[in-house]
Each structure stands twice: as structure tokens, then as C-alpha cells.
Amino acid sequence: MSSDAGIRLQKFLAEAGVASRRAAEKLIRAGDVTVNGEVVKELGSRVDPVQDVVCVDGAPVRPKRKLIVALNKPVGVVCTRRDEANRPTVLDLLPTEWRGLYPVGRLDRDSEGLLLLTNDGELCLHLTHPRFQVHKHYVARVRGKVLEPELARLQRGIRHDGETLRTVATRLVSANASHSVVELELTEGRNREVRRMFEALGYEVESLRRTQIGPIKLGELKPGRWRVLTPSEVSTLRRLTAD
């Protein structure tokens, strides 16, 4: 155990799934936690997750393996761990031993594309917090012919239901009298944000696909399929959202 290395003991216990960080602090104060056989009651104590042996009530605590999965969410699947209407959820597409993962943000039921799932609560918070400005890329197929000046309005900001919705960038891929395809880049991730933007312009989004979150791209991943992020991709995500 070291006073200036490793991670705080209460954070280690929370990340291992023993208790919330606040509840872990109570366990420490109560003398229920030992590090290398010694009772530790000081909340500022730090531990090395690899070298130190941490026990709660005599039982060893082992850190959870941090896992981040990229999934191509199909249309019709909901981004929740349980659904009262018994609709298929994103967890139904993953191995049963990964039921502890939770979605990083959401895609609505009628949208498809890249979704990240993880058991790393801190990374999940950082990826979804507006302060970190994580860029997300979408491709929308819209009914009707969208004009370039209208897309410029989206970058300036457009009002819908009392909120100002704004893109970082937009690009008109194609347009004819019946349909348009538009690429959009956003950072905020408000509820049904892309659909609401086009609704404010008077258009209906027929299909919506997310293609990228930060540096992670959907690539050739087929609908309903998943892959585990590489260590390099995980490191890049952590650097992107570092305090």
C-alpha cells in the first residue's frame, strides 16, 4: 500500500462492485476493510490493484475486468437492460456473461448503428458528459429535398421544444425531389436530437444510423454483431475523456 500511488481504496471497492463509493467509505470507517492483512480506516489510503491484497470482512476483493464493447444496434432493439414491454434489448445480442454491461448513452428504438457498452462507470460518465465534447457522427435519410442553407441553420442552432439544438458539422451527401442523405456531427447527445432537428426544419427522418463515437468507428460491423475494443482504442478513449 502506498500513500501516493495506485487508486483510492473507496474507488477500488466501488469499481470491484463491492458497494457504491459512499457505502465503501462507511465500510472503511467501520474497520471492515483490510489491506495486506492490516485494518485501514483512513479514507485517503491508496492501493495498488495488482500488488495489494484487499479484503472486506475477511473475503478477498478482486477488481473487475474492465470491458468495452462496440455493437451495431439494429432497428427495433431498445437501449436498456430490461424492458417492461418485453421488447428485445441490446443485452439480448451479447453473451449471457456480459449481462453486467450497460449502454453508453442511447440510440432510440427506430435508429441503428454504433453503440458502446461497458462495466466501467467512470468512463461511461465521461463519454456521455457534455463537458468532454465527445463527437458522434450520424447518417440520416430524410424525406424530401434538403437545401444547403437549411443545414447551415443546424450549425447555427435551431429551437425545438424550448431547447436549442446544434450540430458541429453537416454535409449533404445526396438529394433529389423525394429523399436526401445527410451526414451530421454532434457532441451533446440530447434525446432524439437529430430527428427533432429535422422536424424543426419541416422534414421527417426515415432512417438514422450512428457511424462513429469519438475515435471509434462502426466500420464493417454487421447489424446485431459486436466486437471488444482493442487496448489501443480503450487508451485513446481514456485520453479523450481524461480530467
Q: Which residues are catalytic?
A: 108
Residue 87 to residues 29, 92, 99, Cα–Cα distance (Å): 44, 10, 16
* φ/ψ bin of 162: left (φ > 0), alpha (ψ from -120 to 50), beta (otherwise): left
Asked if 214 contacts 234 with a C-beta cutoff of 8 angstroms, the reply is: no
Nearest CA among 233, 199, 231 for reference residue 219: 233
Beta pairing, strands 7-8 & 204-213: unpaired
* Bridge partners of residue 213, in order along the sequence: 136, 216
Residue 140 CB contacts under 8 Å (≥ 6 apart), including other chains: 181, 182, 183, 184, 194, 198, 205, 207, 208, 209
Asked if 177 contacts 198 with a C-beta cutoff of 8 angstroms, the reply is: no
- Grid coordinates standing for 240? 479523450
Q: What is the DSSP letter of 65?
A: P
Phi, psi of 97 (to 5 degrees): -75, -5
* Radius of gyration of the chain, Cα coordinates, nearest whole angstrom: 22
